[in-house]
Chain A
Amino acid sequence: MDLIPKFMRNSVLLIVRSYGIFVGFAVVVIVVSILEQSFFTLDNLLNIVRQSSIHGVMAVGMTFVILTAGIDLSVGSVLALTGIFCASFEHAGWPVYLVLLTTLSIGAAIGLFNGLVITWGRVTPFVVTLGTMSIARGFAHIYTGARPISEFGKHFQYIGGGYFLRVPIPSLVFLAVVFIAAFVLRYTRLGRYTYAIGSNERAARLAGVNVGAFKITAYVICGLTAALGAVILTSRLNAAETTAGAGYELNVIASVVIGGTSLMGGRGSVWGTLVGALLIGTINNAMNLLLISSYWQLVVRGSIIVAAVLLDRLRQE
């Protein structure tokens, strides 16, 4: 311990505490850029943002939920179910805006269901959303007989596959969602109350905040972003499958946690989530580029999650 002077140790700790995730992200980017020259190119960077956009968009909604000290495990299944609906509306020849609107509403409705059961029924979010996870997946299988729905119109495919000034549309959607969420969390009553509920629910209640309503809103937002993720995925893949999004909740929650939002609620930001989601996308991309064996990829992904949680611990001390 004495090898490192005390003032240096302190300043390193300070940097890790306040900017840990950003520093970590920068280190990963620099190291991979040195190892593989095709990594740090505009094309590949845009590619990473696009690949991160699906779990990224969902992670923004999840940030709201986790800020209230809740959790939503159903996002992967909600993605599958809304994706299936989205695909069948598109197949039925509905105009794209109507497809979007209806799909997002269904996602929001599932979120509303989660929120109502959690607040009115006073059940822990973990259990309720675990149930919804299974229910939504079940309905997706029932609705299609587990068959994929594929081949959509040009306009719809543009959402996931199109470009605006060389920038992929999904990346723009992702960034737009992050900006809106950041604004809401910072400047609106909804945002401030979300933090307040997460830091101390009792105090918020005593201060006259309608805790239930704002909690429900968080789950509605989470359902909404899951449906948005579904629209992007369905459009990108040109197909919707009932098995889509299995295990996505892990990536989504990991993005939020890596981004420094505390699972205890009340602390964190969507900017962290943005970086967390990009970090996961970057790691996956880098491991492909560097041709790392698939067995090691699992180890690396898991280690990053553990490291992020430890970092969060460090920050609390």
Chain B
Amino acid sequence: MKKIVLSCLIIVLVISSIVLPDGCRRKPKDKDRIVIGLAVPSLSHPFFIYLKKNITDEAEKLGVDIIAADAEDVAARQMSIVEDFIVRGVDGVLISPIGADSLVPAVKSLNAAGIPVATVDRKVNGGDVLVHVGADNVEGGRVAARYIIARLGPDAGVIQIEGTPGASPAIDRKKGFEEEIAKTGLKIVASQTADFNRAKGMSVMENLIQANRDFQAVYAANDEMALGAAEALQARGMSTAEIILIGYDAIPDALVYIKDGKLNATIEQFPGKQARQALRILVEYIRDSKIPPASEIYIKPLAIDADNLDQAERKLE
């Protein structure tokens, strides 16, 4: 009895792990079409899913094929994905590196194989990259600071909720924000990390409310943390009229919160536009050897609030 159940279980597990993913696998269409390998840090994070969707839409328009693989946020895995791309002989690679330094060897081996590479959103610190299209996170931090400065008195207190320690967007968003705040009389009364995570954003906000520091504004380095903080502030009866709360990334949930008056603003970096542009430049180079106008292209971040919600790239659902 036990053995039968056990073997059934094993058979089901094995069959399902072979059959299920196969149904979802994309079949290669055409041999002569340009194939672009896409290596993003993770395909389980909404941001990168959105990035991938924009890239596949644009690829459809350009008439090229995309093959993508999930690196599950592990640099070594992303490295081997790129190596697999080389073995498969892709025509170009679009990459958003997990680590700026850890993916340098991958770019170098692409260079050695003569495969052009473009980076989007995040940069690589070495090797020859055709173009980098990204957002200036330092500038985004400054934009967030200016939004707060324009709405507060000269000596108000500000709380900063930082991203994952060591992550480059966390470092840059913090740098730009603090730079701009330092120019004014505003004071950062507390600066704590919540690892870009919603649940942690809520606990950190709750704890800082407990600390009773005098603050009139909260800047969270991404929307996830901002939404967690919003729930904590709401629960304390602190409205967005008293406390200015600003997030970062303009994710759909954040737009809903802005519409409902639970969040004041967020910073839009137009990731879809970035991704489309990077792919276009890469394909034009492969097809017509067209050299891009600049080796680094930055899209200007914009503060989105209730007045210009329609300018957000991802619309309200």
Q: Do A and B come from one complex?
A: yes
A residues at B contact (CB < 8 Å) = 36, 38-39, 41, 43-44, 47, 51, 54, 117, 120-121, 137, 141, 145-148, 150-151, 161, 233, 236-239, 241-244, 284-285, 288-289, 291, 294-295, 297-298
Complex contact B192–A294 (CB within 8 A): yes
Number of A-B contacts (CB under 8 A): 86
Interface residues in B185-199 by Cβ distance below 8 A to A read 190-193, 197-199
B contact residues around A288 at 8 Å (CB): 190, 192, 203-204, 207-208, 211
Q: What are 23 pairs between A and B in contact, CB < 8 Å?
A: A44-B210, A145-B49, A146-B49, A148-B46, A148-B253, A151-B256, A161-B235, A236-B202, A237-B227, A237-B231, A239-B227, A241-B198, A243-B197, A244-B199, A285-B207, A288-B190, A288-B192, A288-B207, A288-B208, A288-B211, A291-B192, A294-B162, A298-B165
Q: A238-B231, A239-B253, A288-B207 are in contact. Are A147 and B202 (CB under 8 A)?
A: no
Interface string of B161-205 (1 = CB under 8 A from A): 010010000000000000000000000001111000111001110
Contact of B210 among A43, A145, A239 (CB under 8 A): A43
Q: Which of B1-9, B106-114, B116-124 contacts A (4 or more CB under 8 A)?
A: B1-9
Which residue of A is nearest B198, CB measured?
A237
B contact residues around A120 at 8 Å (CB): 2, 5-6
Q: Which interface residue of A54, A137, A141 has the most chain B CB atoms within 10 A?
A: A141
Give 12 new A-B contacts, CB below 8 A, not counting A47-B207, A241-B198, A295-B165: A36-B211, A120-B2, A121-B6, A146-B49, A161-B235, A233-B199, A236-B199, A236-B202, A239-B198, A284-B203, A288-B203, A294-B162
Interface pairs A-B: 7 shortest CB-CB: A294-B193, A288-B207, A44-B210, A294-B165, A289-B211, A146-B44, A141-B44
Complex contact B206–A51 (CB within 8 A): yes
Which residue of A is nearest B230, CB measured?
A238
B contact residues around A295 at 8 Å (CB): 165
A contact residues around B162 at 8 Å (CB): 294
Q: A238-B231, A239-B198, A243-B44 are in contact. Are A291 and B190 (CB under 8 A)?
A: yes
B contact residues around A239 at 8 Å (CB): 198, 227, 253
Complex contact B165–A47 (CB within 8 A): no
Q: Does B272 contact A (CB under 8 A)?
A: no
B contact residues around A298 at 8 Å (CB): 165
A contact residues around B228 at 8 Å (CB): 237
Q: How far is the CB of A78 from chain B (nearest CB, A)?
A: 16
Which residue of B is nearest A122, CB measured?
B6
Expressed in whole angstroms, the Cα–Cα distance for A117 and B8 within the complex equals: 12
Q: Which interface residue of B2, B193, B207 has the most chain A CB atoms within 10 A?
A: B207
Q: How far is the CB of B7 from chain A (nearest CB, A)?
A: 11
Complex contact B49–A41 (CB within 8 A): no
Expressed in whole angstroms, the Cα–Cα distance for A47 and B197 within the complex equals: 19
Which residue of B is nearest A290, CB measured?
B211
Complex contact B202–A117 (CB within 8 A): no
Interface residues in B9-64 by Cβ distance below 8 A to A read 9, 43-46, 49
Contact of A51 among B45, B203, B253 (CB under 8 A): B203
B contact residues around A47 at 8 Å (CB): 206-207, 210
Q: A239-B227, A241-B198, A291-B190 are in contact. Are A146 and B43 (CB under 8 A)?
A: yes
Q: How far is the CB of A44 from chain B (nearest CB, A)?
A: 4
Q: A36-B211, A47-B206 are in contact. Are A236 and B192 (CB under 8 A)?
A: no
B contact residues around A148 at 8 Å (CB): 46, 253
Q: How far is the CB of B166 from chain A (nearest CB, A)?
A: 8
Which residue of B is nearest A298, CB measured?
B165
Expressed in whole angstroms, the Cα–Cα distance for A259 and B288 within the complex equals: 66
Q: How far is the CB of A95 from chain B (nearest CB, A)?
A: 23
Q: How far is the CB of B105 from chain A (nearest CB, A)?
A: 27
Q: Does B308 contact A (CB under 8 A)?
A: no
Complex contact B202–A237 (CB within 8 A): yes
Q: How far is the CB of B215 from chain A (nearest CB, A)?
A: 13
Interface string of B207-219 (1 = CB under 8 A from A): 1101110000000
Q: How far is the CB of A226 from chain B (nearest CB, A)?
A: 15
B contact residues around A291 at 8 Å (CB): 190-192
Q: How far is the CB of B237 from chain A (nearest CB, A)?
A: 12
Expressed in whole angstroms, the Cα–Cα distance for A124 and B129 within the complex equals: 47
Expressed in whole angstroms, the Cα–Cα distance for A298 and B6 within the complex equals: 42
Complex contact B256–A237 (CB within 8 A): no
Expressed in whole angstroms, the Cα–Cα distance for A288 and B5 within the complex equals: 51
Q: How far is the CB of B174 from chain A (nearest CB, A)?
A: 10
Which residue of B is nearest A131, CB measured?
B13
Q: How far is the CB of A167 from chain B (nearest CB, A)?
A: 14
A contact residues around B203 at 8 Å (CB): 51, 284-285, 288
Complex contact A38–B212 (CB within 8 A): yes
Q: How far is the CB of B309 from chain A (nearest CB, A)?
A: 17
Complex contact A38–B43 (CB within 8 A): no
Expressed in whole angstroms, the Cα–Cα distance for A246 and B247 within the complex equals: 22
B contact residues around A233 at 8 Å (CB): 199
Expressed in whole angstroms, the Cα–Cα distance for A285 and B253 within the complex equals: 27
Expressed in whole angstroms, the Cα–Cα distance for A284 and B47 within the complex equals: 28
B contact residues around A147 at 8 Å (CB): 46, 49
A contact residues around B204 at 8 Å (CB): 288
A contact residues around B49 at 8 Å (CB): 145-147
B contact residues around A117 at 8 Å (CB): 9
